[in-house]
A and B are shown apart, each in its own frame.
Chain A
Amino acid sequence: MSDAALAPDAAEAAADATAAIGFVLNGRPVSAAVSPGMRLSEALRQHLATRDVKVGCNAGDCGACTVLLDGAAVCACLVATRQVEGKRVDTLAGLLDTPEGHRLADAFARHGAAQCGICTPGMMVAAVPLLAADPAPSEAAVKDALGGVLCRCTGYRKIIAAVMDAAGPAADAPAEADGVGARIPRIDGHAKIHGTERFGDDVAPADALVVRVVRSPHPRAAFTFGDLDDYAARHGVTVLTAADIPGVNRFGVIPPFADQPVFAEREARFRGEAVAAVVGEADTIAALDAFPVSFTPLPAVTDPAAAQAEDAPRLHESRPGNVMCRGLVRRGDADAALARADVVAEGRFRSPFVEHAYIEPEAGYAVCVGDRVEVYASTQAPVMDLEGLAPILGLPVEKVRIVPTAVGGGFGSKLDLSVQPYIALGAMKTGRPVRLAYSRTESMQSSTKRHPSDIVARIGATRDGRICGFHFEGDFDTGAYASWGPTVANRVPVHASGPYRVDDYLAKSAGIHTHNPPSGAFRGFGVPQSAIAQEVLFEDLAEALGIDPLEFRRRNALENGVPTVCGQIFEQGVGIGACFDALAPHFARARAEAEAFNAAARAAGSPLRRGAGLAAGWYGCGNTSMANPSTIRSGVTPEGRIVLHQGAMDIGQGANTVITQIFAAALGVPVAAVALVGPDTDVTPDAGKTSASRQTLISGNAARLSGAALRAMILRQANAGDDARIEPTAAGLVIHDGAASRPLDLAALPVDRLGYTLSAEESWDPPTAPMDENGQGVPYAVFGYAAHLCELTVDTALGTVRLEKFTAAHDVGKAINPLLVEGQVEGGIAQGAGMALMEAYIPGQTEDLHNYLIPTIGDMPPVETLIIEEPDAHGPHGAKGLGEHCLIPTAPAILNAIRHASGARLTTVPATPSAVRAAIRAAEEAQ
């Protein structure tokens, strides 16, 4: 052996110790003491404070940890730190100092290319070598360069635009007005684009202990522990089980349904359920051997049909037949109407579990401060976390503080508790700060999913193209625990009609327990599934009646003054008709282009066929027939600084920006004059959960009221008229009232506990009313509406689908920030496209991002967003919610386009190439 090569490592081997590895990091020589196989990603994050490098999968599947190694992009999670000795490693933090990096950061901000920001460093690092070689790259080149970095928020289009435009005009362009309706870059974008944003795994102190959760490898299993005391003593760790929970071993987002244990007791009910946890020093946890637990697999029911069988094991004693709950909406007489309909379309529609696949796995840390526990974690719902966690810890809520970190994507699943109980229990038990970041597989196994659906529906129509009878029954696999299952069961019957007039309607839903992971909230709460059934059957009806698909939908579109299936009548604000009208010219063009394309393809013997398909959707903003207020506080310091306590979690969608724009407009100051204090249960009031497309509507209204109230206080203090102008200056507030201008003297006023001389706390709760036993009532104050046109090409020989373009008409009432509206729409479409074409979570099979496919940058076509502003009287400036609306029409629009292109009528998603090809063959054989 050559001594030079092997002697140093041989010496380390003898000591079995870490070694100091030297390399050049972002232009500076560094040295890190690392264990033999430590991944570069871990060394950078934990030993070199380089936390702009994110870890999303630890397997090279997501690209979040992309760094440049001697100038070439690699995944830092796939490199042993010792492999980089003597080499050059560049991360985003260093590359921002290069001309390419600087211009790129500017373009990312300008284009709104960062939403949650977790993928942003990886995206930007991957783009730098490309831009160094070609300052104005083609779209194809951008896709090739960035194809290895996954994003779940943006739909990639703004990232592509930013990279292509990196050489474009820089930020010294004149700033636009920033009031309501202004297309301003997100105000919290700088940290995301500079890699300084602090996500769930970025905040723990260096000396924090680490938790490893022990999970069931079986869908259903009895288990017993070995000698836990011995294990703990032998490894120098603390073991947590159900026996260590000081409070109740139960949580759930809907208190009457709370049924999920922090640690299973005796029996685990799904693969990936926690049975124990080990807390210890990071090195100890990394080297742990097998935990002393033995599992005995038990017969499991893993689909709703099996779960409802007579002799099926019951998951929860109080829920016979494994029925968690049912939902119903009945209006008129559906069966009688179907009997008299001229045509009836029917079908059975199925969809699998869909994984949220945010790029940031659940993560956080907890620490005891005095007699309180503080939890810093990634969440969509800080106050719900507080209310869920305190009883587990056996503490009153005053003894728990929740401080959300930045959230690297949520989409519904980070509404539920995940890491919080483990880190909090660990901190209480050890007295040390304790951190936990789920591995990708752990995240996928244990977090909630979109409910699998099995829907049978019949819809009738009369010859004149009017809907005549609608009968819908859907079973939803709610998995082992309730989570948001009751919400899905409630929402589906209310929404399954789509945004249409349906006088005779019966919709039933059921949430069924199985030994599967808990299904919960995922953008749309069951509505994307029901929309597939309804919109495919509408396509059948239009076809059977020989009516243009857009005209058929337009004819049945809900209008002002027409009752919904719940009997709710909106006298204003119903914008679905306007969405269809906006799509009409695009649909005509798309159909004509498809016809021409297909004629040419037929003549050339090509198997490619172009199709154009439509679908619509609607979604009620906020909780269903339940109070869900938001409260927003604002204040002015003695120095005249304006502070907004913005408690609406920004999970990438842009609440920080939108809420501030609304507040600033109400107060009458520029956005830049407002300092934000984020969600923190100690200092910021409850703005509710980021869910149900409610923040712009509900927190937006609270912000508007808070801004208006603060304005009134300021003007009163200044003795100024209502139309006076408030000018924030470095020296404090200056009030311009008519010809007079004078500084506002706040020094004489008393200061409250938060340091404000003037302070306004305002709440808003959408007016709703309970639904009766037939689901008739006022479930929501406001609906938002959407219709999508999908153009795609089917390779009929292979069954592959290439998306060509989406045209998305969205009635948002008022676009508070059109740039963010586009971002939501593009990202929602990407998730809808994933659901339509490739995504299926199968426990034990697709538990990582290698086998579970989400769309990459190469799969997303251009999106043209048509913003429709049919104002709603309840909304701030007329605004409605948007978060869920943007993916509801996507999957059915894709299925209808595939059908238009190829004749294949698909009723099950995902429409994989294998499934599409089989459907094409079936259609050909049927001819």
Chain B
Amino acid sequence: MTYLRPTTLDDALAALAGPPVTILAGGTDVFPALGERPAPRPYLDISRVAELRRIEENAAGWRIGATATWTDIVNAPLPAAFDGLKAAAREVGSVQIQNAGTVAGNLCNASPAADGVPALLALGADVEIARSGARRTVPLAEFVTGPRRTALSPGEMVSAILVPPHPQHAVGGFAKLGARRYLVISIAMASAVVVPEAGRAASARVAVGSCGPVASRLPALEDALAGAPLERLAERVAPEHLAPLSAIDDVRGTALYRLDAAATLLARLLGEVGRAALSGDRP
């Protein structure tokens, strides 16, 4: 078995064009999935590709490189719209996991309970996919196609997460529900980004995770929030807004409970985000 360790993206993509490999960055999903078995494929370690680690702003918005860690997100000078993503970053596993695990890896792992997905959906993120000689961009909602399934084809990897520009005064938030503190798989979670305008929500994006095979935006709720007074966002949450969710019963909770809890999380989250938008403080 080989271990490939490129230092440039082009080299990584060239390696990816060959026989199948396991892409290794933070290792926080790769090694647990492997367990005690021998690695089935060569590793392609992309953690030395410096250009992939950057978080940077450009005319098209923010670009979060594929190997940027959760701790990088926490430490990055991101605007208030990213506060939900930052809050999610602090809730991922533990400090150890946040220091190693990458945001892009969280998307590629495609767990229904991936902490990063709702916050990035609320930010309207796209996923930049690279292969040797080509790049394409897909909306995050189309990137995660099911539990443990993504739109990646053989020879492709995520090169970055792209977040479109948000107004400077947009505010984001995130709420996670688990059965314990730290190191916990979410039972339900919610994230929102609200763009305030004259005391009202000009627009909002809202997403819920762990309540279906993939995290989902809630378009009907987003419509209901548009134009609502900031201090009354929580009241706009109605049961029918949760229709896109398809929660299941599992060891962490019943489907009924998940939907009930999601509605509560959404109302609390929107209350907080609305208050933060009103005060100009970050929640």
Chain A positions within 8 Å of B, measured between CB atoms, are: 1-2, 4-6, 9-10, 12-13, 16, 19, 35-37, 39, 58-61, 63, 66, 69, 72-75, 77-80, 82-83, 126, 143-145, 147-150, 286-288, 439, 441, 797-800, 837-838, 840, 842, 845-846, 850-851, 853, 855-859, 912-914, 917-918
Contact = CB atoms under 8 A, between A and B. Distances in A.
B95 interface: yes
B3 A37 contact: yes
B5 A9 contact: yes
Given A1-B14, A853-B184, A856-B182, A912 B2 contact: no
Contacts of B1: 16, 35-37
Of all A-B residue pairs in the complex, the 3 with the closest CB atoms, nearest first, are A148-B94, A858-B181, A147-B182
A80 B27 contact: yes
B93 A148 contact: yes
A93 to B, nearest CB: 19
B260 interface: yes
A83 B257 contact: no
B11 interface: yes
Interface string B72-115: 00000000000000000010011111011000000000000000
B24 interface: yes
A150 B181 CA distance: 12
Interface string B244-278: 00000001111011101100110000000000000
Nearest to B254: A914
Nearest to A212: B36
19 contacts: A1-B14, A5-B11, A6-B6, A73-B95, A74-B99, A78-B26, A78-B27, A78-B32, A78-B96, A78-B97, A79-B27, A147-B94, A798-B177, A799-B261, A800-B177, A856-B180, A858-B181, A912-B179, A913-B187
A855 B261 contact: no
Interface of B: 1-8, 11, 14-15, 24, 26-28, 30-32, 34-36, 38-39, 42-43, 45, 47-48, 71, 90, 93-97, 99-100, 177, 179-185, 187, 251-254, 256-258, 260-261, 264-265
Contact of A36 (B39, B185, B254, B265): B39
Nearest to A147: B182
A858 B96 contact: no
Contacts of A126: 95-96
Contact of A147 (B28, B183, B253): B183
Contact of B45 (A60, A83, A853): A83
A13, A75, A82, A842 — which one has the most chain B CB atoms within 10 A of its CB? A75
Contact of B31 (A77, A147, A842, A857): A77
Contacts of A16: 1-2
A36 B43 contact: yes
A851 B183 CA distance: 10
A838 B178 CA distance: 10
Contacts of A72: 71, 99
Given A73-B96, A80-B43, A83-B47, A856 B38 contact: no
A851 B94 CA distance: 15
Contacts of A60: 28, 31-32, 93-94, 96-97
A1 B11 contact: yes
B2, B45, B182 — which one has the most chain A CB atoms within 10 A of its CB? B182
Contact of A75 (B5, B7, B96): B96
B32 A853 contact: no
A353 to B, nearest CB: 12
Contacts of B94: 60, 63, 147-149
B2 A2 contact: no
Contacts of A144: 90, 95
A845 B252 CA distance: 11
Given A59-B31, A83-B27, 15 more contacts: A5-B48, A37-B43, A60-B97, A66-B96, A75-B28, A75-B96, A78-B27, A78-B30, A83-B47, A147-B94, A147-B183, A837-B180, A845-B251, A917-B261, A918-B256
A139 to B, nearest CB: 13
A829 to B, nearest CB: 15
Given A147-B182, A798-B261, A856-B180, A840 B187 contact: no
Contact of A797 (B6, B42, B264): B264
Contact of A148 (B42, B96, B187): B96
B15 A74 contact: no
Contacts of B5: 5-6, 9, 82
A857 B185 contact: no
A798 B31 contact: no
A851 B251 contact: yes
A286 B32 CA distance: 16
Nearest to A860: B181
B3 A80 contact: yes
Contacts of B185: 850-851
Contacts of A69: 99
A5 B48 CA distance: 9
A622 B242 CA distance: 56
Contacts of B181: 143, 147, 856-859
A61 B183 contact: yes
